[in-house]
A and B are shown apart, each in its own frame.
Chain A
Amino acid sequence: MVEIRNVHKRFGDLEVLKGINLTVNRGKIISIIGPSGSGKSTLLRSVNHLEVIDQGEISLDGARVNRPDLKGLAFEKHINHIRQNMGMVFQHFNLFPHLSTIDNVTLAPRKLKGMDPKKAREWGMDLLDRVGLAQKADVFPNWLSGGQKQRVAIARALAMEPKVMLFDEATSALDPELVEEVNLVMRGLAEEHMTMLIVTHEMGFARDVSDWAMFMDGGVVVEEDDPQKLFSNPEQERTQSFLRKHLRS
């Protein structure tokens, strides 16, 4: 489903990704963990082409995401199409504050798929219902709690029926008591066999939901394994010390 092959990315003199490989199969959930600055966000953003990689290949369902051969408008068209098949969830929600909750969710299907307003509203209500926020449909995002905002953001990302969902620390900006409601929604997606690539600082959650876990540090994959094994019995010293710090706190 998602193929990441030998991906390199540098910001100026700093090489942030040093040859990353990862395969995400359909219906699988992969967690990426690692210390701050290890390149987790950069990797996830590269999949969505929010960062342009310098070397390597990323593809979604066999279609290449990065296409150095395409230029200008041709590339724009290509990437807009690719992105419609990916749902991205950001740490800081990035809901559109000038649109009501339901409009946040239905904007993409209306404008990009030409879904008619009535159908879009039904579809939007379905999605909001799935994240438990149907009653907030006509409220503006500023009036929602952080947890509610992130649930709307998930509904928005689902609106185009993506093949894969990308989560970049979806719960890091939330007050602790709001984390669980978002995790619950993500667990729901897992049960429906949504393909997911999750960057997280929550080891417990990662261990529970994922099919595969990957530990990154300094732009390389230090260790990857079955989550039960990686979290309880890591082989690499760097993974061990990272987990010691994080499982304690």
Chain B
Amino acid sequence: MDFNLMVDVTPLLLKAAWVTIDVSARSLFFGFFVACGLVFMQSLRFAPVRWLARGYVSAIRGTPYFVQLLLVFYGGPSIGFRLDPLTCGVFVGAFNIGAYMSEAIRGSIESVDSGQAEASRSLGFGKAQTLISIVLPQAAPLMIRSLGVLAIVVVKNSSLISIISVVELTYQAQRLIGSTYKPLEIFTISALMYIVIVYAVMGIIELAYRRATRYTTL
């Protein structure tokens, strides 16, 4: 192991790691809105809208993220849909994870005993208020856990956007290997950086989870 080299490349990799974090965070942020939209569409009475949302979720879940990325980045321009690599990474990342997140959100909402909503409605609360005051707080622990798993998936998936030359951690690592021929050293550092990011995310999720479950232990 060439430790001097490892020290030398660290600043560049750190900078790239920041891009990884940035792309992941934005994918998650926009993905959450995509997910809420999908959940909403599936709660509507008008069936075609529900089918549309279901179809979309199935299509996303049934194809590899990598293929989705290539399809949009290389296939998009031929129908006039041109995105720069970074935007494309965030865009495909958000629309990909949004589908999974919508399933996680729905699952956690459905996990709440239907008697809870009934009790709330019987008191005279409307649908929206029942969702906000009664159902969501109880769905929160499971929702946080399952969205947390997806957040980690997003971080790891982000390495795939190196293929469309976004200079994130994996792309930068490959570039450095191209000039130094030291894959072991460089991939070791980048792997360590992924570990730090992923564990930081897991820590945040754990904190949020504990906050959401306070009432069960008091």
Chain A bound to chain B: yes
Let me know if B215 is at the binding interface, CB within 8 A. Answer: yes
**Which listed residue, B115, B129, B133, B137, touches A94 by the CB 8 Å rule?**
B115
- From B141, which residue of chain A is reached at the shortest CB distance? A98
> Are B134 and A142 in contact (CB-based, < 8 A)?
no
Let me know if B47 is at the binding interface, CB within 8 A. Answer: no
Q: Which residues of chain B have C-beta atoms less than 8 A from A95's C-beta? A: 119
B interface residues, tally (CB under 8 Å) = 21
Question: Which has the most chain A C-beta neighbours within 10 Å: B119, B215, B216, B218?
Answer: B119
Instruction: Kindly state the separation between the CA atoms of A81 and B124 in the bound complex, as whole angstroms.
Output: 6
Instruction: Kindly state the separation between the CA atoms of A98 and B115 in the bound complex, as whole angstroms.
Output: 14
Let me know if A97 is at the binding interface, CB within 8 A. Answer: yes
Q: Which residues of chain B have C-beta atoms less than 8 A from A96's C-beta? A: 116, 119-120, 134, 138
Q: Which residues of chain A have C-beta atoms less than 8 A from B115's C-beta? A: 90, 92, 94
**Which listed residue, B123, B216, B218, touches A156 by the CB 8 Å rule?**
B123
Which of A9-17, A104-112, A125-133, A181-189 faces chain B? A104-112
Q: Which of A85-141 contact B (CB under 8 A)?
A: 86, 88, 90, 92, 94-100, 107-108, 111-112, 140
Instruction: Kindly state the separation between the CA atoms of A14 and B129 in the bound complex, as whole angstroms.
Output: 33
Q: Which of B41-84 contact A (CB under 8 A)?
A: none
> Are A97 and B216 in contact (CB-based, < 8 A)?
yes
> Are B138 and A98 in contact (CB-based, < 8 A)?
yes
> Are A48 and B122 in contact (CB-based, < 8 A)?
yes
> Are B123 and A140 in contact (CB-based, < 8 A)?
no
* Given A94-B119, A97-B215, A97-B216: A108 and B138 interface contact (C-beta under 8 Å): no
Let me know if A76 is at the binding interface, CB within 8 A. Answer: yes
Interface 1/0 per residue, B119-157 and A, CB below 8 Å: 111111111010001100110000000000000000000
> Are B121 and A50 in contact (CB-based, < 8 A)?
yes
Let me know if B22 is at the binding interface, CB within 8 A. Answer: no
Instruction: Kindly state the separation between the CA atoms of A111 and B124 in the bound complex, as whole angstroms.
Output: 10
Let me know if B113 is at the binding interface, CB within 8 A. Answer: yes
Separation in Å of the A41 CB from the closest CB of chain B? 12
Instruction: Kindly state the separation between the CA atoms of A50 and B113 in the bound complex, as whole angstroms.
Output: 15
Instruction: Kindly state the separation between the CA atoms of A59 and B118 in the bound complex, as whole angstroms.
Output: 20
- From B45, which residue of chain A is reached at the shortest CB distance? A72
Let me know if A200 is at the binding interface, CB within 8 A. Answer: no
Q: Which residues of chain B have C-beta atoms less than 8 A from A140's C-beta? A: 215-216, 218
A-B contact pairs, 11 of them (CB 8 A): A50-B118, A80-B126, A83-B124, A92-B115, A96-B138, A97-B138, A97-B216, A98-B137, A100-B215, A140-B216, A142-B215
Q: Contact residues of B with A, CB < 8 Å?
A: 113, 115-116, 118-127, 129, 133-134, 137-138, 215-216, 218
Beyond A80-B126, A96-B116, list 17 extra A-B contacts (CB 8 Å): A50-B118, A50-B121, A50-B122, A76-B126, A76-B127, A83-B123, A84-B123, A86-B122, A88-B122, A94-B119, A96-B120, A96-B138, A98-B137, A108-B123, A112-B123, A159-B123, A160-B123
